[in-house]
């Protein structure tokens, strides 16, 4: 059984995915974070793999997208998949972009966050240990999804996404809700001095609450806490940030994890859509 005291575990047939309580009350939003359960991939990709770049059969991956979309109540043709390369580049998408990355080729590259205010445009970001951040402004009806591994985090992709919401959609950051999806937690995320030094360049971060120093040039990194501080600095209210309690490495039986399985694995996804 998946261990969580925060998420609601949703089940549709064999498919299991997680939702955030802070978002579940909004009837004009569908969202979910996938598990490995309920897809048709086999071997190291078993079962719900949503990556086209790890060696799985593309037709099988597309079938997985159909399965998870149906479980979420989303038309699979509405999906828009980001083009993640650990940047802080952000793209605003709309109806003309639906299907890109899943059913048709992308016309963009190096995009680690996507934003829309249009209904029936389902945003997809994915990871196998990196932190994924979902954003929702219920006042202006805008959503965004960002991929924040340590490289994206030190580039402040969360803060830059909030700035796009403000500049492009007239959002008030105090209205924005942010959720941090399952990823590798500090208990399992060892990094070295070069990574620590990149975080140290962000002068408002409290490094003592983000890192545990192992005193051998190694540190245990809390990506959730780092991104929480970045989002608060961007103007989001602390009470509007909900952080997962699920470590993908600890629970690699239920979630794809790079640290647990290296390149022999699939990916999990955060999917969000306005109705």
Q: Is residue 102 part of a domain?
A: yes
Q: How does pLDDT run across 65-116, given as a tens digit for each residue? A: 999 999 999 999 999 999 999 999 999 999 999 999 999 999 999 999 999 9
Is 223 among the domain residues? no
66 in a structural domain: yes
**pLDDT at position 179, please?**
98
What is the distance between the alpha carbons of residues 215 and 246, in angstroms, rounded to a whole number? 27
- Work out the angle at residue 181's Cα, subtended by the Cα atoms of residues 159 and 100, and round it to the nearest 5 degrees: 80
Instruction: Provide the pLDDT for residue 262.
Output: 92
Tell whether 198 is covered by a domain.
no
pLDDT at 134: 98
Q: How many domains does the chain have?
A: 1
pLDDT of residue 76: 98
Structural domain contains residue 263: yes
Predicted local confidence at residue 249, as pLDDT? 98
Domain at 260, CATH number: 3.60.140.10
- Within 10 angstroms of residue 89's Cβ, the number of other Cβ atoms is 18
Q: Give the chain's end-to-end CA distance (angstroms, integer).
A: 31
CA dist., res. 187 & res. 79, Å (int): 33
232: which 2 tokens? 């608060």
Whether 215 is in a domain gets the answer no
Range of the domain at 118: 8-184+238-274
Contact 121, 69 (CB under 8 A): no
Q: Residue 214: phi, psi to the nearest 5? A: -90, 0
Q: Is 214 helix (H, G, I), strand (E, B) or coil?
A: coil
**Low-confidence residues in the chain, pLDDT < 50:** none
Contact 136, 143 (CB under 8 A): yes
DSSP secondary structure code for residue 83 in this structure: B
Which residues does residue 272 pair with via DSSP β-bridges, in sequence order? Answer: 31, 123
Give a yes or no: residue 18 inside a domain.
yes
Is residue 192 situated within a structural domain? Answer: no
Determine the pLDDT at residue 49: 98
Here the tokens at position 141 are 């009806």
């Amino acid at each position: 059984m998946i261990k969580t005291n925060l998420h609601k575990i949703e089940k549709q047939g064999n498919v299991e995915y997680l939702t955030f309580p802070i978002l579940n009350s909004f009837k004009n939003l569908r969202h979910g974070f996938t598990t490995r359960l309920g897809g048709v991939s086999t071997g190291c990709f078993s079962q719900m793999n949503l990556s086209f770049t790890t060696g799985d059969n593309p037709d099988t991956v597309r079938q997985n997208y159909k399965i998870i979309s149906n479980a979420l109540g989303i038309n699979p043709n509405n999906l828009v998949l980001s083009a993640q390369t650990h940047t802080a580049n952000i793209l605003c998408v709309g109806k003309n972009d639906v299907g890109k990355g899943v059913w048709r080729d992308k016309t963009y590259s190096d995009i680690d966050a996507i934003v829309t205010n249009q209904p029936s445009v389902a945003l997809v970001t994915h990871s196998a240990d990196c932190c994924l951040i979902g954003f929702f402004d219920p006042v202006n009806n805008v959503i965004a999804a960002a991929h924040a591994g340590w490289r994206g985090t030190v580039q402040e992709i969360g803060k830059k996404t909030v700035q796009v919401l403000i500049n492009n959609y007239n959002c008030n950051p105090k209205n924005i809700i942010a959720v941090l999806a399952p990823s590798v937690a500090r208990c399992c995320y060892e990094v070295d001095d070069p990574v620590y030094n990149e975080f140290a360049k962000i002068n408002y971060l409290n490094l003592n609450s983000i890192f545990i120093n192992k005193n051998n040039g190694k540190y245990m990194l809390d990506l959730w806490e780092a991104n929480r501080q970045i989002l608060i600095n961007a103007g989001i209210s602390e009470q509007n940030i909900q952080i997962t309690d699920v470590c993908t490495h600890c629970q690699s039986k239920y979630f794809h994890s790079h640290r647990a399985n290296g390149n022999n694995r699939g990916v999990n996804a955060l999917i969000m859509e306005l109705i």
